[in-house]
């Protein structure tokens, strides 16, 4: 039986498709092995492109109805597209095999096509090499496996197609498993301090470990733990980004450009930021797209520098009083009043460690009392505008550039000494929470909950510069809890926060779109189920 016989030429379609598909999957995991979950991963640009092209209404539906699953589906779809792309490239390489009678042709063809395809997608030759090598390995095994069996005298012809397909699948499975394992460690090292593995979570890097430890200790003391609720400082800080794969920016490569309608345009480096006095601030972030009693509201101790001196140095010259923050890494941008940015900070530390990659390493903006979206991560530009403009989310129909809405969440419940205890977090941005009221009869009667002391105010050498030099945190949530004798059977617990000026949290319910969820959180509590 020689190559190029009629039988070889008319080999059934299915095995080739299986080989192409297996090679496609191996290709994706091969690139993952080399670059991990970083922008070099070919699925990343496809996913970003899909989210960018998606009509605002579809994105809003996904956010409000599907929640995080929407983004996961998008990522899975992007992955499928890349597998399909690789499979078609491999298919082309396999088709050549029918023209040119050489087993190396589809192997080399796969190498070249997949490498170029990935490099075009990611501009990352290394990622392309990983993808190409893995895909070509699968093709090589499928090409040479039948030859090996022929040499060892096994019966061939009938089984050839199936053998090709099976050996391809087997190779893809092994390459895939190795690729996944190696890629995970790659992702971890990329996540460390914005790209340099050496700085991974090393508090010493911030040169402030002692202060921070003390602050975090205080925050833990000012926490209530009821059932599943998180303490004052979140252990699992939420994550919202337009791309599933976070940009990777090493501190040494980072610059911040200050441009636009200003007297002086300039650029700052990471070292420039480190050279000026820092401050620590407890601040809460809340996402406009979350559900009313959702978990996209968290508090951390942030370390960085006040924005005010940067604005002063630039000397804004337009009447607009508006500013655009930009992140080149994921092409995100948000516009909002300059006034809101003035008391803000540029953070490079979070809870005593370098800012994690997924939270915007090396530097993000923090805008007190405003919805999460204007707290731009991977910040690379502050542009002072002549006229107002829409941000990324506003172009998609959201209104998330204003102050956060007030909310009291119900996240914990338990039985303690025969009493029901409920608890949660209350937040009113910079308006502050003065009391939280709880009703255990569906809203007929109200009782005052216990509140934790407010978290400490900004500290560190720059604490006064940002206007945050008060003794108490200007923009941090507080914990509440309320214990009561169970009324017997299921009952409706309703919670509402009262702001410092006496304003009671709005009762009227609205969904998250377009300007954040409103209403009182209400939930059924069944003491017998606790």
Closest residue (Cβ) to ligand MTE? 372
Tell me how far apart the alpha carbons of residues 225 and 214 are, in angstroms, rounded to a whole number: 20
Q: Quick check: 110 and 104 in contact, CB under 8 A?
A: no
C-beta closer to Mo ion: residue 295 or 491: 295
Stretch that binds Mo ion, among 33-41, 190-198, 213-221, 239-247 (CB under 5 A): 239-247
For the CB of residue 376, give the shortest distance to ligand MTE in the complex, in Å.
Answer: 4
Nearer to Mo ion, 309 or 511 (CB): 511
Q: How far apart are CA 197 and CA 182, in angstroms?
A: 15
SS3 2: coil
Query: Token pair for residue 207?
Result: 């040169």
Minimum CB–partner distance for residue 333 and Mo ion (Å): 14
Interface region with Mo ion, contact rule CB under 5 A, candidates 8-16, 66-74, 159-167, 233-241? 233-241
Cβ closest to ligand MTE, residue 41 vs residue 378: 378
Which residues, 6 or more positions from 137, have their beta carbon under 8 angstroms from its beta carbon?
26, 171, 175
Residues 6+ apart with CB under 8 A from 57: 397
DSSP 235: S
How far lies 209's CA from each of 20, 235, 250, 284, 467, in Å? 53, 18, 22, 21, 23
How far is CA 113 from each of CA 16, 36, 108, 124, 133, rounded to the nearest angstrom? Answer: 17, 21, 9, 15, 11
Residue whose CB is less far from ligand MTE, 161 or 329: 329
Nearer to ligand MTE, 294 or 468 (CB): 294
Comparing CA positions, the residue from 144, 124, 152 lying closest to residue 36 is 124
Q: Residue 122 Cβ, how far from Mo ion at the closest point, in Å? A: 27
Question: By C-beta, is 373 or 383 nearer to Mo ion?
Answer: 373
State the nearest-atom distance from the C-beta of 78 to Mo ion, in Å.
21
Nearest approach, Cβ of 300 to Mo ion (angstroms)?
15
Task: Give min distance, CB of 272 to ligand MTE, in A.
Answer: 21
Taking the least distance from each CB to ligand MTE, the nearer of 90 and 473 is 473
We find the least distance from the C-beta atom of residue 54 to ligand MTE, in angstroms, to be 14
Of all residues in the shown chain, the one whose CB is closest to Mo ion is 287
Within 10 Å of residue 400's Cβ, how many Cβ atoms? Answer: 24
510 binds, among Mo ion, ligand MTE, none (CB under 5 to 8 A by kind): none
Burial of 360 (C-beta count, 10 Å sphere; 0-12/13-18/19+): buried
Name the minimum Å distance from CB 237 to ligand MTE.
Answer: 6
Instruction: Please tell me whether residue 240 binds Mo ion under the rule CB under 5 A.
Output: yes
Is the Cβ of residue 142 or residue 284 nearer to ligand MTE in the bound state?
Answer: 284
Which positions from 421 through 440 interact with Mo ion, judged by CB under 5 A? none
Residue selected from 373, 383, 394, 475 as contacting Mo ion according to rule CB under 5 A: 373
- Looking at beta carbons only, is 310 or 361 nearer to ligand MTE? 361
Nearest to 333, CA basis, from 287, 393, 286, 410: 393
Please answer whether residues 321 and 254 qualify as being in contact, where contact means their C-beta atoms are separated by less than 8 angstroms.
no
**Locus of tokens 């956010």:** 63
The nearest distance, CB 61 to ligand MTE, in angstroms, is: 16
Can you tell me the distance from the alpha carbon of 250 to that of 270, in angstroms, rounded to the nearest whole number? Answer: 9
Task: Indicate which of ligand MTE, Mo ion, none lies near residue 199 (CB less than 5 to 8 Å, by partner kind).
Answer: none
Strands 381-384 and 255-260: parallel
- In angstroms, what is the minimal distance from the CB of 378 to ligand MTE? 5
- Return d(Cα 473, Cα 170) in angstroms, integer: 58
- The answer to whether the beta carbons of residues 431 and 499 sit under 8 Å apart is yes
Query: By C-beta, is 105 or 327 nearer to ligand MTE?
Result: 327
Phi (first) and psi of residue 150, to 5 degrees: -65, -45
> How far apart are alpha carbons 517 and 399 in whole angstroms?
12
* Least separation in angstroms between CB 402 and Mo ion: 13
Q: Which is nearer to ligand MTE, 122 or 246 (CB)?
A: 246
Q: Return the HEC string of 104-165.
A: HHHHHHHHHHHHHHHHHHHCCHHHHHHHHHHHHHHHHHHHHHHHHHHHCCCCCHHHHHHHHH
Could you tell which of Mo ion, ligand MTE, none binds residue 96, using a CB distance below 5 to 8 A set by kind? none
Site string for Mo ion, 470-509 (x = CB under 5 A): ----------------------------------------
Closest CB to ligand MTE among residues 44, 498 = 44
The option from Mo ion, ligand MTE, none interacting with 94 (CB < 5 to 8 A, set by class) reads none
Least distance in angstroms from the C-beta of 300 to ligand MTE: 9
376 binds, options ligand MTE, Mo ion, none, Cβ within 5 to 8 A by partner type: ligand MTE
Interacting positions 268-307 with Mo ion (CB under 5 A)? 287
What lies within 8 Å, CB to CB, of 55 at 6+ separation is none
Q: Which of 15, 195, 372, 512 binds Mo ion (CB under 5 A)?
A: 372
The residues binding ligand MTE (CB under 6 A) are 237-242, 285, 287, 327, 330, 332, 359, 372-373, 375-378
| Residues of the shown chain interacting with Mo ion in the complex, contacts defined by CB under 5 A | 240, 287, 372-373
């Amino acid at each position: 039986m020689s190559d190029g016989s009629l039988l070889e030429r008319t080999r059934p379609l299915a095995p080739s498709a299986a080989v192409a598909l297996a090679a496609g999957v191996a290709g994706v995991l091969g690139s993952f092995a080399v670059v991990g979950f970083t922008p070099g991963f070919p699925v990343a640009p496809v996913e970003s492109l899909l989210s960018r092209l998606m009509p605002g209404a579809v994105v809003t539906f996904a956010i409000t109805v599907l929640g995080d699953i929407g983004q996961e589906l998008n990522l899975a779809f992007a992955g499928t597209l890349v597998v399909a792309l690789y499979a078609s490239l491999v298919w082309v390489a396999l088709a050549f095999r029918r023209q040119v009678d050489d087993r190396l042709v589809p192997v080399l063809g796969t190498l070249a096509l997949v490498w170029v395809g990935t490099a075009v997608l990611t501009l990352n030759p290394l990622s392309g090499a990983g993808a190409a090598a893995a895909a070509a390995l699968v093709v090589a095994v499928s090409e040479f496996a039948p030859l090996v069996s022929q040499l060892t005298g096994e019966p061939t012809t009938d089984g050839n197609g199936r053998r090709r397909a099976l050996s391809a699948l087997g190779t893809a499975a092994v390459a895939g498993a190795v690729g996944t394992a190696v890629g995970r460690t790659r992702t971890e090292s990329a996540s460390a301090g914005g790209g340099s593995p050496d700085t991974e979570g090393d508090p010493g890097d911030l040169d402030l470990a002692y202060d921070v430890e003390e602050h975090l200790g205080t925050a833990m003391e000012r926490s209530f733990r009821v059932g599943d609720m998180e303490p004052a400082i979140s252990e699992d800080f939420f994550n919202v980004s337009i791309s599933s794969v976070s940009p990777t920016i090493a501190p040494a490569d980072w610059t911040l450009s200050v441009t636009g309608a200003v007297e002086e345009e300039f650029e700052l480096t990471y070292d420039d930021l480190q050279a000026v006095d820092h401050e620590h601030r407890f601040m809460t972030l809340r996402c406009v797209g979350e559900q009313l009693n959702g978990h996209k509201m968290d508090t951390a101790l942030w370390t960085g520098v006040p924005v005010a001196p940067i604005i002063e140095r630039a000397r804004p010259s337009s009447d607009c009083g508006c500013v655009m923050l930009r992140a080149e890494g994921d092409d995100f941008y948000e516009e909002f009043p300059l006034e809101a940015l003035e008391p803000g900070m540029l953070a490079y530390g979070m809870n005593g460690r370098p800012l994690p990659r997924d939270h915007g390493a090396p530097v993000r903006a923090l805008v007190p009392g405003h919805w999460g979206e204007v707290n731009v991560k991977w910040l690379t530009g502050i542009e002072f505008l002549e006229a107002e403009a829409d941000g990324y989310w506003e172009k998609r129909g959201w209104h998330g550039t204003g102050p956060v809405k007030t909310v009291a969440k119900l996240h914990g419940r338990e039985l303690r000494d025969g009493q029901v205890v409920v608890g949660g977090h209350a937040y009113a941005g910079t308006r502050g929470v003065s009391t939280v009221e709880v009703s255990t009869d569906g809203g007929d009667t109200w009782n005052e909950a216990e509140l934790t002391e407010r978290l400490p105010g900004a500290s560190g050498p720059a604490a006064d510069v940002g206007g945050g030099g008060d003794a108490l945190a200007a923009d941090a949530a507080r914990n509440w809890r309320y214990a009561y004798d169970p009324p017997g059977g299921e009952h409706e617990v309703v919670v509402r926060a009262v702001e410092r000026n006496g304003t009671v949290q709005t009762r009227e319910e609205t969904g998250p779109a377009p300007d954040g969820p409103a209403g009182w959180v209400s939930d059924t509590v069944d003491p017998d189920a606790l």
